[in-house]
Structure 1
Amino acid sequence: MKKTITFILLFLLICSGSSYNVYAKETPPSVSADSAVVLDAATGEILYAKNPDSAYPPASTTKIMTALLTLENTNLDDKVVIGNNPPAVEGTRLGLFPGEELTVRDLLYGLLLASDNDCAEALAEHISGSLHKFAAKMNTRAKELGAKNTNFINPTGLFNEKHKTSARDLSLIMRELHKNPEYSKIATSISYTIPPTNKSSKPRTVWNENKLVQKQSMYYYSGCQGGKTGYTIQSLHSYTAVATRNGETLIVALVHDKNKTFFPDSISLFNFGFNNFQLVKLYSKGDLVTTYNKNKLSVPLIADSNFYYVKEKGDKALPHLSIKNENLSFKLFKVGDVVSSADIYFKGKNIGKLNLSSGISHDEKQILNSDIIENIIIRNKYAIPVVIALLVVIAIFTVKKIYTLSK
């Protein structure tokens, strides 16, 4: 009995001296908006979702698509001549005049900082010639980005019952916009002064309405790299923002908020994402992933790009790869050519594909000098026709290459 008690006491003493890391995921915050997401910008992974695909009128958060198309289709120093329609638009305006000349940069600051509708229409007409054509361009680009529940009618976000987007779609647009460094430069500016023009003798200053970048605001959020508010009476409030911490970038999107709590709600969502999830680089471009070994051919397979994934902090699970079953024996390739790919799985979920490039070259001479031909002859009763066909293919390829080089 004494031995048993001694053993129990010794066991408890050992356990009490051991330390364990206990990871507890926070309860996701409650937000007012009817559609909301937190998206990891590097991977596209959704870390938080509330009705992510429910579409609502987004008001002026529409302007992030207008800004994206502007940055993709113009130069900031391009001159824009204002037409007759933008000065007459409803809602917030910079006060443009027909025939006035400004730069794309001036109009983008008015668009993103002060949410001026006349700037939005002026940019749309400059890029596409008409608002209708620009809206079509907006919808095409949205589909390219994977936005499946979006339909834009105008570049401003002025209410139209057919003009809608979801939080997921809005985050995808912001994700693409944030890739352009000019966006954050503009969107984190507290103010911008438009110099006098041919129609305005006085400079005009626009101020940033995004409180997450205003250091004097109670809602200032360190690491915020831009955001866009939106409101109309019919559309209610919407908001999207992007923030970076410790090398990880998250995007928050909130659509259809009747309580106007999007600033504190965004802070709660950013904190939830940063506190509970971790961005991990699985491979860097140029890393050796594996080695192909078949038919006495050894090919180092190299990561063709960086590959990241997101996991909950403290999660010890590791991703695994499923390499595409390729026969490289008869393929001709050079160092750096993509020769295969791998699907990457994490906890049973496919989290992406990684292209694999070759670390060596494999040319015609290597094929002919290998044991492949001999193995075909030994094992295949149709060896001679197969070998002849192989030689013909190699000869044709060689002739084509010589012809191409001689042109």
Structure 2
Amino acid sequence: MFIMKNRIKTVLCLALCLMAYISAAVSVRCTAQAQEAENVSGAEIKPSELYARSAVLMDAGSGRILFAKNGQEEMPMASTTKIMTCILVLEEGDLTETVTVSEEAASQPEVKLGMKSGQRFRLKDLLYSLMLESHNDSAVAVAEHIAGSVQGFADMMNRKAEEIGCDATYFITPNGLDAEDEKGVHHTTAEDLARIMKYCITDSPERDGFLEITRKESYTFSDCDGNGNYTCNNHNTFLKMMEGALTGKTGFTADAGYCYVGALQRDGRTFIVSLLACGWPNNKGYKWSDTKKLMTYGIENYFYREISPALPQNTVKVENGYNGGFPGKEPAEAGLRTGGGTQKLLMKQSEEVEEELRLPEKIQAPVKEGDRLGELIYTMDGRILAVYPVFASESVGKRSFSVCLSYIAHQFLGR
């Protein structure tokens, strides 16, 4: 009996020790997992972690650059050029029109549709050839149709680039093949390429048409005479790589290396990634690795915060102002109000917004209600995020001789 009791005590002791060990192990594991998740979500990306020589992560809503690696370095961009070609054709052309192929278009190198001089296609069909298969001959054919020549279309591309704020981009060809003229080489920057994509998906009046074409999985067509049967498949692997993938365009030339620009939308947030010189042959997958890394960084770290205009002061002094009562020499005061409402900005938790009220210490009378007196500016890291106009919320007259005389008359004569 005594031996049995000792055995029971021993078994119970071992069981309790085992339970304590398991509990401690689970606790340590959970703590480690939580710390690991915290580290992943808050980790900064180092430029050295990316394969691309130049890379940008942009908030498509505001155009703010969230991350950059050599983002302003000018480089060739290969077939990512074709996002500009596509959006210009959508804006300037009629997709039901017929395109007649020139010898210049038919002579373009691979990758190409294989069109022949004199062959006729619908403009709409060639845009799918352009964006899904990246056909170089289709790019020249649509460019010549819209502008009359490749040079004329390149001029249109450069004007549009300047219009949307791309001051470090120069287009020579509509297909992105390596090219050079007296003004330089065909090039852009990662920042400018992201701006062009932002224009294509958020600002252009033809943004829906652009997304419809670039998101199509496959497209089949024939020429206007019913000859040939062409099938185009979408080679943008990113569309199936991440939840919320929106659009994108790949590119490669000997000078440019592998390039990519793509967009993702999730939980009301839209991110754009642009990559230049992201590896050469045998490194074809580098662009997908970098794109996923940057998109994940954006998704896990940037969330919307609201900025509402709040004036640090409610009035401004009005020199020689008069708003009733004794017309003394002391400045009167005019009430202030802001224009505009709440704005949402993608920000990291660690980022802080700075507020600056640009308003004269004193203003001269008279002041009318609604007069713009200054502005309330919100900035972060020296970049302006939002600007709110500051108006007078009431009118303030001018203290003049007649005002003083009227006051005296009222006080002493009761008039």
Both proteins in one fold, TM over 0.5: yes
Shift of 1:200: 3.9
Residue 277 of structure 2 aligns with which residue? 256
Give distance in 2, aligned partners of 1:302 and 1:226.
Answer: 36
Shift of 1:68: 2.4
Match of 1:309 among 345, 350, 357: 345
Give distance in 1, aligned partners of 2:404 and 2:118.
Answer: 79
Contact 2:334–2:396 at 8 Å: present in 1 too?
Answer: no
SS in 1 for 2:102: coil
Matched, 1:112 2:138: no
Matched, 1:26 2:43: yes
Match of 2:158 among 121, 124, 139: 139
Match of 1:344 among 378, 402, 414: 378
Contact 2:367–2:392 at 8 Å: present in 1 too?
Answer: no
Contact 2:112–2:136 at 8 Å: present in 1 too?
Answer: yes
Matched, 1:222 2:240: no
Give distance in 2, aligned partners of 1:358 and 1:197.
Answer: 61
Shift of 1:372: 0.4
Contact 1:43–1:308 at 8 Å: present in 2 too?
Answer: no
Residue 88 of structure 1 aligns with which residue? 107
Structure 2 unpaired stretches of 5+: 1-33, 317-331, 406-415
CA offsets 1:102-146 (integer angstroms, 9 cap, x no match) = 333212111111101112112211221111121122222222223
TM norm structure 2: 0.71
One-letter identity of the residue aligned with 2:350: D
Structure 1 unpaired stretches of 5+: 1-20, 215-219, 363-369, 382-407
Give distance in 2, aligned partners of 1:98 and 1:152.
Answer: 25
Residue 233 of structure 1 aligns with which residue? 254
One-letter identity of the residue aligned with 2:275: L
Q: Could you say if the C-alpha distance between residues 97 and 316 of structure 1 is closer, same or farther in structure 2, counting changes exceeding 3 Å? A: closer
Match of 1:207 among 233, 249, 252: 233
Give distance in 2, aligned partners of 1:300 and 1:193.
Answer: 58
Q: Could you say if the C-alpha distance between residues 339 and 248 of structure 1 is closer, same or farther in structure 2, counting changes exceeding 3 Å? A: farther
Residue 18 of structure 2 aligns with which residue? none
Shift of 1:77: 3.3
Shift of 1:356: 3.5
One-letter identity of the residue aligned with 1:315: S
Question: What is the aligned residue count?
Answer: 337
Residue 190 of structure 1 aligns with which residue? 217
Shift of 1:293: 4.6
Q: Could you say if the C-alpha distance between residues 303 and 97 of structure 1 is closer, same or farther in structure 2, counting changes exceeding 3 Å? A: same
Give distance in 1, aligned partners of 2:108 and 2:353.
Answer: 54
Contact 2:335–2:392 at 8 Å: present in 1 too?
Answer: no
Residue 320 of structure 1 aligns with which residue? 355
Give distance in 1, aligned partners of 2:373 and 2:116.
Answer: 57
Q: Could you say if the C-alpha distance between residues 53 and 316 of structure 1 is closer, same or farther in structure 2, counting changes exceeding 3 Å? A: closer
Give distance in 1, aligned partners of 2:148 and 2:367.
Answer: 49
One-letter identity of the residue aligned with 2:338: L
Contact 2:367–2:397 at 8 Å: present in 1 too?
Answer: no
Give distance in 2, aligned partners of 1:324 and 1:133.
Answer: 48
Residue 69 of structure 2 aligns with which residue? 50
Give percent identity, aligned residues only: 28
One-letter identity of the residue aligned with 2:155: A
Give distance in 2, aligned partners of 1:317 and 1:353.
Answer: 14
Shift of 1:241: 0.6
Contact 1:42–1:308 at 8 Å: present in 2 too?
Answer: no
Residue 96 of structure 2 aligns with which residue? 77
Give distance in 2, aligned partners of 1:52 and 1:100.
Answer: 42
CA offsets 1:150-190 (integer angstroms, 9 cap, x no match) = 22110111112511222111111111111212222221111
Shift of 1:88: 1.7
Q: Could you say if the C-alpha distance between residues 71 and 119 of structure 1 is closer, same or farther in structure 2, counting changes exceeding 3 Å? A: same
Structure 1 range deviating more: 57-66 or 102-111:
102-111
Match of 1:171 among 180, 194, 212: 194
SS in 1 for 2:277: strand
Give distance in 2, aligned partners of 1:201 and 1:319.
Answer: 63
Q: Could you say if the C-alpha distance between residues 277 and 198 of structure 1 is closer, same or farther in structure 2, counting changes exceeding 3 Å? A: closer
Structure 1 range deviating more: 106-115 or 316-325:
316-325
Q: Could you say if the C-alpha distance between residues 352 and 198 of structure 1 is closer, same or farther in structure 2, counting changes exceeding 3 Å? A: same
Contact 1:292–1:301 at 8 Å: present in 2 too?
Answer: no
Matched, 1:276 2:311: no
One-letter identity of the residue aligned with 1:344: Y
Give distance in 1, aligned partners of 2:89 and 2:102.
Answer: 17
Shift of 1:350: 3.5
One-letter identity of the residue aligned with 1:112: M
One-letter identity of the residue aligned with 1:198: C
Matched, 1:156 2:175: yes
Higher-Rg member (1/2):
2
Give distance in 1, aligned partners of 2:198 and 2:374.
Answer: 28
Shift of 1:359: 11
Structure 1 range deviating more: 231-240 or 263-272:
231-240
Give distance in 2, aligned partners of 1:99 and 1:340.
Answer: 62
Shift of 1:378: 6.5
Residue 354 of structure 1 aligns with which residue? 387
Contact 1:307–1:354 at 8 Å: present in 2 too?
Answer: no
